Amino acid sequence: MNHAANGAAPAGPVLAIESSCDETACAILAPDGTILAQRVVSQDGHADFGGVVPEIAARAHLALLPGLVAATLNDAGLEASALALVAASTGPGLIGGLIVGSGFAKGLALALDIPFIAVNHVEAHALTARLPGLVPGGAPFPHLLVLVSGGHCQCIAVEGVGRYRKLGGTIDDAAGEAFDKVAKMLGLGWPGGPMLEKLAREGNPSAIALPRPLLRRAGCDFSFSGLKTAIAQKLAPYGQTPLPRQFAADLAASFQQAVADVMADRINHALDMMPQAGLLVAAGGVAANTLLRTTLETTAAQRGLRFAAPPLRLCTDNAVMVAWAALETWAEASRQHKTPFTDTAMRPRPRWPLEEMAERIAAIKTAA
């Protein structure tokens, strides 16, 4: 096998694939983390169903990936033979998409006779802020990660590559899921988060009283199911009657404010549980919401902490974060004298807890 150089960085670029949900993405990073090319295709075909249909997503990944990878290589001005590593999201996520993406990446790695690195999708979000030049002053360990997306809502102590502690998470709907469901109740279509935020700009966030689930409770778990139910109750009197525009806007704004208030409270509790944190990092698609991002930034400032969030294009699922996580994993394995290695035997996993990542790195064996 033509291994990458034994050291903190591979001998050439890494190509990564992200296919854990309904975004089909490819990116190429230089060994130092410089982004050479990136592409993301947001799939069609899900809106009519009000959410992601796993079978449709998997088939779309299969159709899109060959052309997407070729186009990304062309954008970077590279031949596939120049690559030193290939990586892919291998879990957690929708199993069909993970099988397609990781299978494509493994096949490419085998054809090129270079290593394949399996990347934990959540870990990729956790490490995104460490991309060189992304955060002024860098994002050293330890820091607190708030991951808010359609499938995840977690507070995670990021103590090093492969070393994470989940401080709290959702006990029902994730924040992004709640946004999408409330948007659907308001007749806004899917994906609902951006549409709800746009409507909320026309409304008064104090107009309608809504609950703040788990506010001031111990710990930093989240619950949005009760808030979603409260929205349904406010809508019930209207039945099938079209909602007055101002009422819909006020309800959207009040819902968004309630989520922001809950997030601030939960994060303050998480910071109490992690006093050594010097940085608060937000990641995930919901971190693109302007009010939530401002709320997190204010919360960090009140605690005397720096706040960092990736650019909006790197908040949602993307392959840049997957490529960077692969480089970080390679470097960490190198520090433990376990490079070169390959993950071609690793199977896709719909669930892959972050707490297992330390064991994963410890179990890495140097390839022959």
Please tell me the predicted confidence (pLDDT) of residue 5. 34
Tell me: is residue 40 an annotated ligand-binding position: no
Tell me: is residue 143 an annotated ligand-binding position: no
Q: Please say whether the dihedral angle defined by the alpha carbons of residues 320, 21, 42 and 69, taken in this order, is positive or negative.
A: positive
Please tell me the predicted confidence (pLDDT) of residue 48. 65
Please tell me the predicted confidence (pLDDT) of residue 47. 62
Pairwise CA distance, residues 317 & 353, whole Å:
18
Tell me: is residue 148 an annotated ligand-binding position: yes
Pairing status of strand 306-308 against strand 85-91: unpaired
Q: Please say whether the dihedral angle defined by the alpha carbons of residues 155, 152, 215 and 202, taken in this order, is positive or negative.
A: positive
Structural class in CATH, domain 14-127+315-363: alpha beta
Amino acid at 318: N
Query: Which CATH number among 1.10.645.10, 1.10.460.10, 3.30.420.40, 3.30.70.660 corresponds to the domain 141-309?
Result: 3.30.420.40
Q: Which stretch of DSSP H or E encloses residue 279?
A: strand 279-283
Pairing status of strand 279-283 against strand 306-308: parallel
Report yes or no: 4 and 85 within 8 Å, Cβ to Cβ: yes
b/e code 217-245 from CB counts within 10 Å (16+ = b)? eeebbbbbeebbebbeebbeeeeeeeeee
Task: List, for the chain, all residue ranges whose pLDDT scores fall below the cut of 70.
Answer: 1-7, 45-51, 368
Tell me: is residue 197 an annotated ligand-binding position: yes
Tell me: is residue 147 an annotated ligand-binding position: yes
Please tell me the predicted confidence (pLDDT) of residue 362. 86
DSSP states along 5-52: PSSSS-SS-EEEEE-SSSEEEEEEE-TTS-EEEEEEEEPSS-GGGTS-
Please tell me the predicted confidence (pLDDT) of residue 3. 37
Pairing status of strand 163-169 against strand 153-160: antiparallel
Tell me: is residue 289 an annotated ligand-binding position: yes
Tell me: is residue 93 an annotated ligand-binding position: no
User: Helix 245-273 to helix 225-235 angle, to the nearest 10 degrees?
Assistant: 170
Question: What are 90-118's pLDDT values in tens digits?
Answer: 999 999 999 999 999 999 999 999 999 99
Tell me: is residue 121 an annotated ligand-binding position: yes
Query: Which residue intervals of the chain bear CATH 3.30.420.40?
Result: 14-127+315-363, 141-309
